[in-house]
Each structure stands twice: as C-alpha cells, then as structure tokens.
Structure 1
Amino acid sequence: MSSPKFQDLSMGSKTIVLVELLLFAGALLITVYINDLFNFISTINTPLNTLFVYSFVFALVIQLSSLALGLYDSKLRENFRGVARRQLVAVAIGFFIVTLINPFYGIKSLPIDILAMSSLMSLVLGCSFRYITLKLDFFGFNKRKILVLGAGERASIIEKRMRRDVDRQGFHVHGFIVMEGDLDAGVVNENRIEFDGSLVNYALEHGIDEIVVASDERRNNLPVDELFACKIRGVEITEILDFIERETGQIAVNLIYPSWVIYSNGFSSANHLRNTLDWFFNASMAFTLLLITWPVMLITTILIKLDEGLKAPVFYFQERVGLDGKAFNIIKFRSMRIDAEKDGAQMAQLNDDRTTKIGKFIRKYRVDELPQIYNVILGDMGFVGPRPERPEFVQQLIKNIPYYNERHNVKPGLTGWAQLKYPYGSTEKDSLEKLKYDLYYIKHRSFLLDLLILIRTVEIVLFGKGR
C-alpha cells in the first residue's frame, strides 16, 4: 500500500497542514514587523525577500518537529492539554534547529531574541488554532461515504472495532446491505438495508464513494455485474480485509483466507539492497546509540546496585524466538525481583507487583531495553520488527492463533508497529491484537515505515508512554 499523497488527504488534514505553515511563517514575519515598529531589540537588516524565505524555513522546521511528535497523525487520541504539550516540544526543537541554521545566513541572520519571540508566538498561534480544530472537528470535512455489502459476521467488525468517531475520521458509513448467507452474529446497531433493486442506481442516488465487500457467503452470491458497473462509474470497490488494513493499520487475522495472502501485494522481501545492508545499517545505528546512551546505562547500573545491593545482578538474560524460529538470548536491564519467576515463566503484567522501584521507571521510559543494542550488533535483532517472544509462550500461541508463526519471517526488533499502535498487554487476546499489527508491518515493511516507527518511538520515550 503506497503512502497517501497530499491531494488524497481529507480537507480537514489539508487545512491543518497549510494553515499551520502560514501561521508559523507569519509568526516570524509579525515579530519582525513589531520589532521594526517599536525597535525593542535591535534594527534588523535582513532584506524582505530573504525574510520570506527564512520565515518558510522556520515554519517547515517546526512542522517537521510536529510530524515527529505525531501532531499530524489523523488518529491522535489526545485532549487539548496533550496536544499543547506536544506543540511546546515541537516548537522548542524547531527553535533549537533554527538557531543552528541561523549563522549560515551570515550578515542576513536574525538575532536570537527575534527567533525566541517568533517561537513563542508560533506556540501561541499553533495552540490557539489546535484548540479551534478540536472544537470544530476539522477532520470531519470531506469524509468518504461508504456502503458495506453484507451485514453478517464479517461486516460486523466495522461496527465492533471501528465504532468511535476517531476510528471513522476518514469515512461515514451509509449502511449495511443485508446479503443472502449472512451469519446471524452480524450488524446490530447500524443501518441495515434490505432491497432488491439495482446496486449501481442506489449507489449513485445516495452519493456513495466506496463499496466495501464484506458478505459472509460469496460463492455465487456477489452481484459481480453490479459491482463492475459501480466501478466504471467511479465508485471504489474494496475488500473488507483491505478496508480494515487501510483504516486501522492492522490486518484482521480472523478474516484472512489463503488466496488473499497469495494475491495481495507485500509479504515478501524483494529489496535485495535492503537485505544486504540490513546488518550494516542496524549495527551502525546501534553503535551510534551506544555512544549517546552509555551515560544513561551507567547511571541505571548504579541505581540498580544502590536499590538492591552490590551483589544484585544488573542484567537479565532471557531466551527469545527470533528470525526463522531460531532461539537467542536477549539482554535487558533487570527490572523485576530476582525471584520473579520462582513459580515458572509468566508474562509480564501491567503494574506488575514483581517490578522493582527502579524497574518501574526504566520500563516506563524503555531504558531497560537499551542493553539489547548488543543483540542488534550481533545480528540477532534489528531496530524495527516484531518484539521477540519467549519459546514457552510461542509454541502455545502458534497452536491457538492462526498465522502467528508468520511474524518470525522477519528479524525481531527493539521497537515495532504493534508497540506503537497497541497498549501493553499480557494475554493471548492481546497477542492476537498485536499480531494484526505485526502482519501489517511485515506486509508493508520498508525503510520509510521503519523511519516512521523510530520517530514515533522517540515520542514514546519523551512522554513516558512505555509499559
């Protein structure tokens, strides 16, 4: 699935991107103009044409920082306070980067005071605009109107899993057409439509933009000619699996059938250059990260010793399942008591009482994962990929969850798509939900997706949203 282009975004998303570009650029221009009127800092000699260029560079830098912090994520689940906090960090990072760029303008550079005041004004304007967007729901503009063909068990996943407004930001469900063969455990609270007329006429009369095929019984049951007529008249036809994948960033494991996997794009590694350079890239990043984080790891080692005694072990070695099902030993900072598994292997729980005082902190900010840099250098892991599980749990999960073993077709990682999209969980049901995201990652694995995951992981570390 290709990345969405700007012209494919909803009107609300385009509005936010463009308006914030103008707001941030305008903040710098307004600050300079006010300074010229009152001369409270110093006289600015920057020519007007250079000032316009500078203002847009200033705006773009802040917007890139906002992107890294998830402020342009259409499914950002934050209240205004959370958005304002992210915007504060984005503007602070933008100010830091712009001050590094500023000397390259030579005699045309701006005083640091002007950049600081422009950043403050950007924060005020940005937060004010975001407050308005949250109140008026800009993301509700230009939603696609969809019609679901089917009202049974397969179609009900839209009702059950995408029932909130935040899950339907890009579309509006017109209704579910009841089809012959639909199972009883189907759609209950949505608009059920029963009619024997022409599907294409109905779609055109009601302004349907997309038809999602989700009937339970397809053999000799789909109105192929009607769907073809809709297609050539500009109505998109989408299979339920592709629809769920596109809107949620996961693959509905319980709906998968083998032919869909065989004929769909993805699930292969045809990028031979990536495969060849994979270890070199990961090892280089691991070495760089080691140079940056060694003071943090040293402090963590000291804190563990002070908390539990000089004889207490700092590291914890645990067997995990990696690429092609091969086992390897993962290394982490020990965050649980020494006797945490005296009764046998157990999945870690949220707010686990076996966690030490220092362990709670290092788990929250992912510090406990830093020693896995060594696993990356050895080639057992990459930076991005499905999180490796323990062999004791893997065998049971393979038996109970279809396609679970497919997550071992790629190298496990320090962070992954599932860790970004799904909260911490410790049950078999949680493993199923995470598998949906892992399969999505495997299907769409690319350098750009890896980069996005790494940027969003930085956000998790900054705001302490680890497990």
Structure 2
Amino acid sequence: MKKILGNSIIAHGLGLIIAMTYMLLTSPYDFGMLPKTVENSIIICLIGYLVSANIIPRITRYLLVERKYYILPVMTTVYAVIMALILLSRFDYSRPVLIHGFFISILIFYTLSLLLKEERKLKLAAINNFNFQDLKANKNIQLEELVDFGHLPNEEHDGLVVDLHKKLSVEQARFVADCSINNIPVFHSESIREMVEGKVQTSHLSENAIGSLQPNPIYKGLKRVWESILIIATFPITIPMMLLTAVLIKIENPGPAIFIQERIGQGGKPFKIYKFRSMTVRPKGAESKFATEEQSRVTRVGKMIRKVRIDELPQFFNVIKGEMSLIGPRPEQESFVKQFEEEIPFYGYRHMVKPGITGWAQTVQGYTDDTESTTEKLSHDLYYIKHLSFWLDMNIVIKTIRTMLTGFGAK
C-alpha cells in the first residue's frame, strides 16, 4: 500500500477523491441538485488542495525538513489568498463548504505525511571515499554503502553519492560513469551535505567556486516587486502597530522612538537603517557592541518588541526605498564588517545581495555575537545567495513566523 502511495500523483489523486466525497456527504443537498455556491466552493477547495500539494514539496526540500511542519502555514496562506480573490471578485461561495474543505484537506495532508514518511526519505547508494557517518545519522536520509560495483543502484535508490574531488579506483570511476550514462543521478558528497545542513562549507570554498554563488538575476527583479507589494498590502495592519509602538516607547523612556544607524548594504555601500528604539539612549561616541553586551540597556517595551520582532517593522521603509529586502543576510555595522573581513575569508561576498529584515541564517542559526558564530552565519548566508529562489524565501517566511511566535534568536 505504501509503495503505491509513494507515487505523489496516486496519493494526491486519492486525497482529492476523499476530500470531494467528504464535502458532498456533509452537504445538506442531494447529489445532482447542488446549488451554484456549493459547486463553486467544492471546485475552489480542490484547487486549494492542488496548489498546496504543489507548494509544500517545493518549500520543504531545503534542509530535508519534515513536511508536516509546513502543512498548516502553507494551507492557511493558500486559503487566505483564495478568500481575498473571492471577496475582490464577488464570487458566489458557501462558507461551510470552504471550512469543511480546509480541514479535511489538512487532515489528508497530515495523514499522507505520516504514512509516507519512510517513502519520502532520500535513498542514496554511497561510494566509501568520504566520511558519510553524519549523513547516515540524518533521519531523512537512507544511505547504503556499496561493496559490489558490478551492479548499478536499483530503482529504490534516488541516486549515487560520492566525493568527486577525491581519487577513485578504476573500478569506482567506471561505476560512476555507468551511473551517469544510465541516467542515475550522481551527487557530489558536499552537495548532499550542503542540502542537509543548509550552508556552504566556506573551508572548502575557493575563488573559482564563487561563480556558483551568483543569484538568479531574473528572480532578483521579481523579488523586489513581490516584496514591495506585500509590504504595501500589509500597511493597514502594520502602520497602526508602528504608531502604537512609537507611543509606548515615548511613554516609557525619553528619547526618539526610531533608532537610526548606519549599516553596510549591497555592494558594501553604507545606508541608514530604521528600527524602533528598544534601549535607553546610548551616550554619544560610545563604542559599538554586540546586542548581547547591551542587555542592561534594554527597556521593558524594548524586550517585548524584540521578542516578536516588532522593532524591525520600520525597515519596511528601507525595503520600499530599495536599500533592503524583506529576506536576505542581516546588515552589519561598518566596524564589525571591517573586523570580520580581516578575520573571516570570503566575508565580503555576503554583500552580493541586498541585506534583509529576516534571513536564512537568522531562522536556522539565531543570533551571533563573535567571530566563530559569525563564520557559521556566513556559511548560511552564502547558501542563501547560492540557492536564492521564491521557494527558499517562502521557507524563510514560514520559519520567521515560527521565530516571531517562539522568540527564537531574540536578543
């Protein structure tokens, strides 16, 4: 049964049948006598199901994450967009049918994620010319070491993994070539490790490899458009929230509500970043410090707005001005940039894209406050630049919502 369901088309075909059957059975009308509102709503729910089924695997391929954690936020977003389109177009619909369709679809997705957990593991055959114990320990990878090179990996394997930069025996080299000729995917071990860990190994990076970090120029333009539209669309909610925050800051502590500081942006160019002030006013000429060293200056309002990231909302205007993106590497102060460029190889390459309000490193790693953790952060930033895409950005958006709800990485 699991083998049959392992085919996504079959699994979601059954899911659609179950969802449609459920909505028909829960409808108070006889089949064939359904009013237009019910028919429209059933079609809308099926479209929502198909859209979600297409989006979830695209988002969850990063870090080989479990899909069940993304089902609810993806489906909620899809239905929110659908409802917005319905209201704008004045399309006739049935609210009970949409509610039933939403919850039965979530139930189906969760059930399939549990049933197919083993089937969706990345199954790889491995040539033992690299240390793959950490890959083998990953719960989302099934690794089988090859001892016989007389037979190609069977259909149960998703491909072959090997360190292509290390020397292979004549037999192993012939085997890798045979796999390629027979359309069996051959993965470099560092590519799989990069996929699992969500970071580029900077210790193995060379100037010749920097070309692979160039982001897609077409998507960079589209990213600017969709981020600006999203920010403007949320202004009816965020503007009142910002006004209230500014008032609370002014009431609690004397000084400006907005904190303006120079940061380094795309291409190493400085710009002024806007944030809500979350600390007492710092004396003029005071030395720049990491946030962990300034905890004593954090106000009560500041502690609250930092935890849920409200202090970052004024940066929406940095995005509108084109100085920042919603998503990208976090911008640093010039003094820290100069320090890290001297201590960390390739640090300047994180300035290939616009800095962001949130980013891959923040959602995966959290806050950094020293050279060692910043080196780790750089490897995540370079991974983001290398794999920059709409689906990775959506992954980060969902992780950021989790961060706002849990306070992960707040300082």
TM-score class, shorter-chain normalisation, is 0.7 to 0.9
- Determine which of 126, 130, 151 is the counterpart of 2:106: 126
Q: Distance in 2 between matches of 1:237 and 1:88?
A: 34
Residue 25 of structure 1 is matched in structure 2 by 20
Q: Distance in 2 between matches of 1:372 and 1:53?
A: 41
Q: Distance in 2 between matches of 1:70 and 1:338?
A: 47
Deviates more, 1:65-74 or 1:436-445: 65-74
Residue 137 of structure 2 is matched in structure 1 by 163
Residue 356 of structure 1 is matched in structure 2 by 299
Q: Distance in 2 between matches of 1:285 and 1:89?
A: 16
User: Does the alignment pair 1:55 with 2:42?
Assistant: yes
Cα distance, 1:28–1:235 mapped onto 2, change above 3 Å: same
Structure 1 residue 413, shift from structure 2 partner: 1.8
Query: 1:48-197 maps to which residues of 2 (within 5 A)?
Result: 51=38, 54-61=41-48, 73=60, 75-76=64-65, 93=80, 96-97=83-84, 100=87, 103-105=90-92, 109-110=93-94, 112-116=95-99, 118=100, 122-123=102-103, 126-127=106-107, 130=110, 133-134=113-114, 136=115, 138-141=116-119, 143-151=121-129, 155-156=130-131, 158-160=132-134, 163-166=137-140, 168=141, 172-175=142-145
Residue 243 of structure 1 is matched in structure 2 by 192
Q: Distance in 2 between matches of 1:416 and 1:298?
A: 25
Q: Distance in 2 between matches of 1:123 and 1:113?
A: 11
Same amino acid, percent of matched pairs: 25
Whether the 8 Å CA contact 1:385–1:410 is kept in 2: the answer is yes
Cα distance, 1:444–1:400 mapped onto 2, change above 3 Å: same
1:301 maps to a residue whose letter is A
Structure 1 residue 225, shift from structure 2 partner: 3.1
Q: Look up the SS of the partner of 1:319 in the other structure.
A: strand
Cα distance, 1:233–1:417 mapped onto 2, change above 3 Å: same
Q: Over residues 357-397 of structure 1, what are the superposed CA-to-partner deviations in whole Å (9 max), with x where a residue is unaligned?
A: 22232223221111112322333212232111122222232
User: Does the alignment pair 1:413 with 2:356?
Assistant: yes
Q: Look up the SS of the partner of 1:165 in the other structure.
A: coil
Query: 1:231-270 maps to which residues of 2 (within 5 A)?
Result: 231-262=180-211, 264=212, 267=214, 270=217
1:163 maps to a residue whose letter is A
Cα distance, 1:395–1:406 mapped onto 2, change above 3 Å: same
Q: Distance in 2 between matches of 1:410 and 1:441?
A: 10
User: Does the alignment pair 1:426 with 2:369?
Assistant: yes
Q: Distance in 2 between matches of 1:220 and 1:132?
A: 43
Structure 1 residue 173, shift from structure 2 partner: 0.7
Q: Look up the SS of the partner of 1:332 in the other structure.
A: strand
2:6 maps to a residue whose letter is M
- Determine which of 312, 315, 322 is the counterpart of 1:379: 322
Residue 394 of structure 2 is matched in structure 1 by 452
TM-score normalised over the length of structure 1: 0.69
Cα distance, 1:396–1:312 mapped onto 2, change above 3 Å: same
1:123 maps to a residue whose letter is F
User: Does the alignment pair 1:313 with 2:278?
Assistant: no
Q: Over residues 28-83 of structure 1, what are the superposed CA-to-partner deviations in whole Å (9 max), with x where a residue is unaligned?
A: 22211xx237xxxxxx7516xx85563131243367579889997365569x8x78
Structure 1 residue 353, shift from structure 2 partner: 5.6
Q: Look up the SS of the partner of 1:359 in the other structure.
A: helix
Larger RCO, structure (CA 8 Å, separation 6 or more): 2
Structure 1 residue 419, shift from structure 2 partner: 3.1
1:126 maps to a residue whose letter is I
Q: Distance in 2 between matches of 1:459 and 1:350?
A: 26
Q: Distance in 2 between matches of 1:283 and 1:72?
A: 21
Structure 1 residue 232, shift from structure 2 partner: 1.5
Cα distance, 1:221–1:359 mapped onto 2, change above 3 Å: farther
Q: What 5-or-longer segments of structure 2 have no aligned partner?
A: none
Query: 1:253-292 maps to which residues of 2 (within 5 A)?
Result: 253-262=202-211, 264=212, 267=214, 270-271=217-218, 275=221, 286-292=231-237
Whether the 8 Å CA contact 1:322–1:328 is kept in 2: the answer is yes
Structure 1 residue 252, shift from structure 2 partner: 2.4
Whether the 8 Å CA contact 1:404–1:435 is kept in 2: the answer is yes
Structure 1 residue 235, shift from structure 2 partner: 2.9
Whether the 8 Å CA contact 1:150–1:215 is kept in 2: the answer is no
Q: Over residues 407-429 of structure 1, what are the superposed CA-to-partner deviations in whole Å (9 max), with x where a residue is unaligned?
A: 11112122223334333443434
**RMSD between superposed Cα atoms in Å:** 4.4
Q: Distance in 1 between matches of 2:359 and 2:235?
A: 20
Q: Distance in 2 between matches of 1:285 and 1:390?
A: 27
Structure 1 residue 398, shift from structure 2 partner: 2.4
May I ask how many residue pairs the two structures share in their alignment? 402
- Determine which of 402, 414, 439 is the counterpart of 2:382: 439
